[in-house]
């Protein structure tokens, strides 16, 4: 049995979204996004840093949202929602899948820390401004790649549950706007219109 350790408004939505898209059966351990739940001994036994998502599959336990996605696709859906290695879209799939945690999430983390997490007297406007500019710059190649496409590689894939999730977060942070990123704004709306995505974001 698959169990997803989850908290709302977090990267765990990516894993939930993928489970829903694939129609898999799973249990959801819904925690609060609070130190009480995430830094408990029980959760630290699953993730030493007390973070989410964590996926358990009987006696297997794995963390890192990208690794969880790969694990689910390979072990439970025979590579579904992922192009085969010989598919011409495969390199682009890998690129956007990893661009998420590699390029886009670091500035998002900084913005979240300097707006929502730190007390106001410890928030640094300069650091936040730098992160906002870097985040906007990081989205430019994705906006350019979306010309003529509904999803990152054309058809919907697991890369959309990664980078698409970060796109929706960036929209909520006010970086992806209709004016600055028209194609990504439309992409975010298209993703949220998918029942699995809507369910993951509202869970």
Ligand X SMILES: N[C@@H](CCC(=O)N[C@@H](CS)C(=O)NCC(=O)O)C(=O)O
By CB under 6 A, name the binding residues for ligand X. Answer: 10-11, 38, 50-53, 64-65, 101
Q: What are phi and psi of 86, to 5 degrees?
A: -85, -5
CB of 88 to ligand X, least distance (A): 27
Q: Which among 60, 65, 59 has a CA at the least distance from the CA of 16?
A: 65
Q: Which is nearer to ligand X, 4 or 52 (CB)?
A: 52
* Burial grade of 126 (CB within 10 A; 0-12, 13-18, 19 or more): exposed
CB of 147 to ligand X, least distance (A): 28
Under a CB-based contact definition with an 8 Å cutoff, are residues 196 and 173 in contact? Answer: no
Distances 180 to 43, 82, 140, 191, 197 between C-alpha atoms, Å = 40, 30, 9, 19, 24
Q: Which is nearer to ligand X, 47 or 180 (CB)?
A: 47
Query: Which residue's Cβ lies closest to ligand X?
Result: 51
Q: Which is nearer to ligand X, 101 or 183 (CB)?
A: 101
Distances 166 to 36, 39, 159, 175 between C-alpha atoms, Å = 26, 24, 11, 11
CB of 34 to ligand X, least distance (A): 9
Q: Which is nearer to ligand X, 10 or 161 (CB)?
A: 10
CB of 178 to ligand X, least distance (A): 26
Give the tokens for residue 110: 């900084």
Q: Which is nearer to ligand X, 109 or 155 (CB)?
A: 109
CB of 10 to ligand X, least distance (A): 4
């Amino acid at each position: 049995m698959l169990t997803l350790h989850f908290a709302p408004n977090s990267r765990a939505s990516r894993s939930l979204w993928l489970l829903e898209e694939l129609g898999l059966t799973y249990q959801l351990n819904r925690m609060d996004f609070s130190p009480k739940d995430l830094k408990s001994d029980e959760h630290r036994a699953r993730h030493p840093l007390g973070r989410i998502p964590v996926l358990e599959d009987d006696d297997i336990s794995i963390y890192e949202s990208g690794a969880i996605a790969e694990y689910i696709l390979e072990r439970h859906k025979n590579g579904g929602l992922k192009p085969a290695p010989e598919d011409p879209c495969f390199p682009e799939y890998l690129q956007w899948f990893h661009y998420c945690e590699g390029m886009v999430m670091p500035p998002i983390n900084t913005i979240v820390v300097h707006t929502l997490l730190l007390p106001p007297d410890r928030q640094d406007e300069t650091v936040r401004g730098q992160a906002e500019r870097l985040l906007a710059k990081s989205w430019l190649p994705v906006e350019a790649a979306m010309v003529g496409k509904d999803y990152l590689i054309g058809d919907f894939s697991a890369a959309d549950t990664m980078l698409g999730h970060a796109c929706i977060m960036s929209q909520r942070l006010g970086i992806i706007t209709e004016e600055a990123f028209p194609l990504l704004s439309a992409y975010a709306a298209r993703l949220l219109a998918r029942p699995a995505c809507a369910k993951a974001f509202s869970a």
